[in-house]
Amino acid sequence: MSNVYEQRVNDFMAKVIAKNPSEVEFHQAVHEVVESIIPFIEENPQYKDAKILDRMVEPERVIMFRVPWLDDKGDVQVNRGFRIEMNSAIGPYKGGLRLHPTVNLGVLKFLAFEQVFKNSLTTLPMGGGKGGSDFDPKGKSDNEVMRFTQSFMSELFRHIGPNTDVPAGDIGVGGREIGFLFGQYKRLRNEFTGILTGKGMEWGGSLIRPEATGYGAVYFAQEMLNTRNDSMNGKIVAISGSGNVAQYATEKATEFGAKVVTLSDSSGYIYDPAGIDADKLAFVMELKNVRRGRIKEYADKYGVEFFAGQRPWGVKCDIAMPCATQNEVNEEEAKTLLANGCFVISEGANMPSSPEAIEVYQNAKILYGLGKAANAGGVAVSGLEMSQNSMRFNWTREEVDAKLQQIMKDIHSTCVKWGKDGDYIDYVKGANIGGFVKVADAMLAQGLV
């Protein structure tokens, strides 16, 4: 980047940091985007004159609220709830809810900001939002989770709606939580409408939504490999996490002939050099989704190694798929991955690579599919769930999967269109500019809002 652009980026970031002190994840997400966008808007002054970027880093609305609930002992607990309504230029706010003790305003603003670009890339009419709470679902009973989610929805319901804001799942929010949230909304409003996605099949859900993020991240990896006349077949894959995204990334990668050798949770990772086949994955799904146990049990059951307190990036692999959380790959780990032969990164998680790690990938010109492109399959199928709810109709598994595959191909093409530089495809630049243009043009058309 030229010195002039670098100065502009630094000036812009200084304002963002001064205005949003201590929101370090938000600064990181904005910095990555403005590095791509500032050179672009210098050449496209209509965006610069209308201060589109200054407007995009300011949420349209932030809702913060008290969530009191009773635990099983009868004691009062108090958590903080949030919904960040970031941008509605191209559709209703759309994005997940995260329940994790690390949730705070800065984390959710980073996620909501990323979501604006990601949703634009899907080609579907969805704005960007994110929400959640610092509630920790770990170790809580079903009844405690229900009481918490009912209290959370007792405030959130007045801010959402099928044409206003449509939340979904994220870390700590799966089918169980969406069910409780939906039930409470219906009770409060006396309305059966598509105000959440990720719903159960019996009550307005879409086939393939649970699978969509993980499958989509594998489809995106496959698209990247296609550009080098290569494929997933025969590749060794390291995956982090063992939740929704990691599980279905494992399933699809295995179906495509790859061998997935790691999974993890916040306690450590398992390394299974023989590969996590369908039977072993069924065990993981029961362990994580029903018994809500720890991944270490996999090592005990299958006699493989468990590495306590470590992340899986030291193993030999061709493809790495971080599917747990933000900043879970640092510079050293990125270097280790590359030294061990890894040449494809497809991010199921949001912002899992640190800025220094991204620099390592980019300098080495490996295939780096960043989260807002690679993991957009989840929200894309959420968009398809909204369409099906509006039509009061359901597509088949094959129909939804075909649409998901086409969307991932289209996202890849958008990244190539805006990010191709000679033989190299800069997916960061491609996804950021590709996501930006549609939202920015809509904002220009809608006047000063």
Residues near ligand 2IT (CB under 6 A)? 94-96, 115, 118, 168, 170, 197, 350, 378-379, 382
Query: Which two tokens mark 245?
Result: 């995204």
What residues are annotated to the active site? Answer: 130
Closest to ligand NDP by CB, 103 vs 440, is 103
CB of 173 to ligand NDP, least distance (A): 7
Report which of 354, 332, 355 is spatially closest to residue 9, judged by C-alpha positions: 355
170 counts as binding ligand NDP under rule CB under 6 A = yes
**Chosen from ligand NDP, ligand 2IT, none, partner binding at 353 (C-beta under 5 to 8 Å by type):** none
Q: Which of 108, 225, 284, 324 binds ligand NDP (CB under 6 A)?
A: 324
CB of 361 to ligand NDP, least distance (A): 18
How many chain residues bind ligand NDP (CB under 6 A)?
25
CB of 211 to ligand NDP, least distance (A): 10
CB of 411 to ligand 2IT, least distance (A): 13
Query: Which two tokens mark 272?
Result: 């299974």
Q: Cβ of 20: how many Cβ atoms within 10 Å?
A: 17
**Chosen from ligand NDP, ligand 2IT, none, partner binding at 443 (C-beta under 5 to 8 Å by type):** none
- Tracing tokens 């001064």 back to the chain, one arrives at 18
- Which residues in 92-111 contact ligand NDP (CB under 6 A)? 100, 102
CB of 198 to ligand NDP, least distance (A): 7
Computed from CA positions of residues 236, 372, 419, 23, in that sequence, does the dihedral angle turn out positive or negative?
negative
Closest to ligand 2IT by CB, 176 vs 294, is 176
CB 101 within 8 A of CB 60: no
**Chosen from ligand NDP, ligand 2IT, none, partner binding at 324 (C-beta under 5 to 8 Å by type):** ligand NDP
Task: From residue 348, give the alpha-carbon distance in Å to each of 115, 142, 161, 202, 258.
Answer: 13, 27, 27, 27, 17
Closest to ligand NDP by CB, 170 vs 333, is 170
Report which of 258, 145, 208, 112 is spatially closest to residue 400, judged by C-alpha positions: 208
CB 272 within 8 A of CB 280: yes
C-alpha–C-alpha distance, residues 396 and 52, integer Å: 40
Q: Which of 105, 124, 245, 270 binds ligand NDP (CB under 6 A)?
A: 245
The span of 44-52, 146-154, 222-230, 318-326 binding ligand NDP (CB under 6 A) equals 318-326
Nearest-CB residue to ligand 2IT? 96
Contacts 24+ apart (CB under 8 A), 65-74: 65/155, 65/156, 66/155, 67/133, 67/135, 67/148, 67/151, 67/152, 67/155, 68/151, 69/144, 69/147, 69/148, 69/150, 69/151, 70/147, 71/140, 71/144, 71/147, 72/141, 72/143, 72/144
Residues in a beta bridge with 96: 168
Element (H, E) at 306: strand 305-308
CB of 382 to ligand NDP, least distance (A): 8
241 counts as binding ligand NDP under rule CB under 6 A = yes
446 Cβ contact partners less than 8 Å away, ≥ 6 residues apart = 89
Closest to ligand NDP by CB, 195 vs 381, is 381
CB of 114 to ligand 2IT, least distance (A): 7
**Chosen from ligand 2IT, ligand NDP, none, partner binding at 95 (C-beta under 5 to 8 Å by type):** ligand 2IT
213 counts as binding ligand NDP under rule CB under 6 A = yes
244 counts as binding ligand NDP under rule CB under 6 A = yes
354 torsion bin: left (phi>0), alpha (psi -120 to 50), beta (else): beta
Closest to ligand NDP by CB, 39 vs 371, is 371
Q: Which of 250, 375, 414, 432 binds ligand NDP (CB under 6 A)?
A: 375
**Residues lying near ligand NDP in the complex (CB under 6 A):** 100, 102, 169-172, 174, 213, 241-246, 265-267, 323-325, 348-350, 375, 378
